[in-house]
Amino acid sequence: MFYSLGKYLLLLRLSFRKPEKFSVYWSEVMREMVSIGIGSLGIIATISLFIGAATTIQVAFQLSSPLAPMSIAGKIARDSTILEFSPTISALVLAGRVGSSIASQIGTMRVTEQIDALEIMGVNAPGYLISPKIIASMTMIPLLVIVSITLGITGGYIACVFSGDITPGDYIAGVRDGFDGLTIQVALVKAIVFGFLISSICAYQGFYTSGGALEVGQSSTKGVVYSCVMILFADLVITRVML
Amino acid sequence: MIEIKDIYKTFGENEVLKGISANFQQGKNNLIIGGSGSGKTTLLKCIVGLHEPTKGDVFFDSENFTNMDFEQRVPIRTNIGMLFQNSALFDSMTVEENIMFPLNLFTTQTTAEKLDRANFCLERVNLEGKNKLYPAELSGGMKKRVGIARAISMQPKYLFVDEPNSGLDPKTSILIDDLINELTEEYNMTTVIVTHDMNSVMGIGEHVIFLHNGEKWWEGSNKEIAKTDNQELNDFVFASKFMQAAKVKL
């Protein structure tokens, strides 16, 4: 385990060595941003709407006491969405979508000697392949989380309109009641950390692939599984430290 | 010129290369031949720095490449072109982008100049007009030629070729061999070719090294091969009936 951790840290150090040419790396960052950000928008929008709606209905169902105002459902749904559902569930979904793509892309390049070709040319292969993906993930995943929060809360509103469990007025009142900006900060810190974990762990798994197609698949699976475990661990640590 | 001195390479308990020394001369096709598992590709990877030798040194024009760190190796690496066994073209890039890739990173040329160079290299390998195709749209022989075009785009001093004929039909194999031979003369490169194709050995093997069980077993030219009394080399080169018949004529 310590051997792998050391290898992972060394790979990260190599990844952030001075680029051969900044403009080439910059265009790679832009390409990755489009792939990770725009490419994941559909799935993030879909899961956020459904999770926001389901959360609101469940909270409303559990508020059976006539003493508790129904607007509390909006407040709980808002905080749950901002603090947990949007950053963490989005990250777990992105580990599957973005992480597996990173691991299999780099793994395939390794087994087809494309990484060797980069090294022969004098290109710092970890820098060229990994750093743009890490930078793009750490930039785009927080933006996706902001979109997810917005759509999650919107999903809750739509659920109120169609289910009638809470009135839309109560929901909006709850969403606006006692809002603390710290929750957004926590969500963004989580998103940045999760972005780093997904891209770096999956890139590490892909970069050290050896063998053929079977091993590329295994690297991709390992990358997703390890990223998910580390996301949940980091989620706990950040929540404990910041709240 | 490339000089290798006493190269050893061990993977765990397995000693793959056992003290190989050789000189690869400029302007010549230097062939490394040997059976499967004899250490040819490992030796090539040790020379270009993809594997670090367990012991021994590699000199590129008297500069000790083995002792250099990554940054120090870059100027030598930009003078190296390499054609891989499976071509190793970048899948996500077009033919033109593949050829322009090293130019983008290591030169200050304008886009027009880089395009001119890419077109020149494509013409040189008889693939003019294929600029916008992706590697997946090319045949095996075309991929090899694009690989060669990318390898020569920086006008290298050293060209390394790993199994140039694998997976190609005999006619295309000869075309690739002839192309490598012409480019070696044209650019006065030090060319090192790993192969077990006997047509290549007899056709372009100006300087041949035969490896057997990780050791240098024989060294000479293709003209000397037929006269050698080295049993292992004879068994390897003249294994087929066709080559045995050719040997009689030689």
CB pair distance less than 8 Å for B84 and A24: no
**Per-residue pLDDT tens over the stretch A142-192:** 999 999 999 999 999 999 999 888 899 999 999 999 899 999 999 999 999
Complex prediction ipTM? 0.89
pLDDT at B250: 58
Option in B48, B104, B105 nearest A120 (CB): B48
Option in A21, A109, A124 nearest B104 (CB): A21
Is pLDDT at B67 greater than 70 in this prediction? yes
Of A208, A200, A149, A155, the C-alpha closest to A179 is: A149
If contacts are CB pairs under 8 Å, which of residues 21-50 in chain B contact chain A? Answer: 48-50
Provide, as residue numbers in chain B, all residues whose Cβ is less than 8 Å from the Cβ of A123. 105
Domain boundaries, chain A: 22-242
Cα B215–chain centre separation: 19
Taking CA atoms, what residue in B is nearest to A31?
Answer: B92
Answer whether A219's CB lies under 8 Å from A205's CB: yes
Q: How confident is the model at residue B172 (pLDDT cuts 50, 70, 90)?
A: confident
Answer whether A133's CB lies under 8 Å from A235's CB: no
Of B47, B74, B78, B44, the C-alpha closest to B152 is: B78
Between strands B29-34 and B190-194, the pairing is parallel
- Residue A160 neighbours by CB under 8 Å, 6+ apart: A56, A166, A167, A168, A170, A171
CB pair distance less than 8 Å for B50 and A121: no
Q: Residue B167: left if φ>0, alpha if ψ -120 to 50, beta else—which one?
A: left
Give the residue-averaged pLDDT of A41-68.
91
Q: Residue B39: left if φ>0, alpha if ψ -120 to 50, beta else—which one?
A: left
Q: How confident is the model at residue A196 (pLDDT cuts 50, 70, 90)?
A: very high
Q: How far is A141 from A129, CA to CA, in rounded Å?
A: 19
pLDDT at B199: 84
**Per-residue pLDDT tens over the stretch B141-166:** 999 999 999 999 999 999 999 999 88
3-class DSSP state for residue A190? Answer: helix
pLDDT at A129: 97
- pTM here is 0.90
What are the structure tokens assigned to A101, written together?
A: 């793509």
Is pLDDT at B244 greater than 80 in this prediction? no
CB pair distance less than 8 Å for B88 and A116: yes
Q: How confident is the model at residue B245 (pLDDT cuts 50, 70, 90)?
A: low
Q: B34: which strand partners?
A: B211
If contacts are CB pairs under 8 Å, which of residues 126-185 in chain A contact chain B? Answer: none
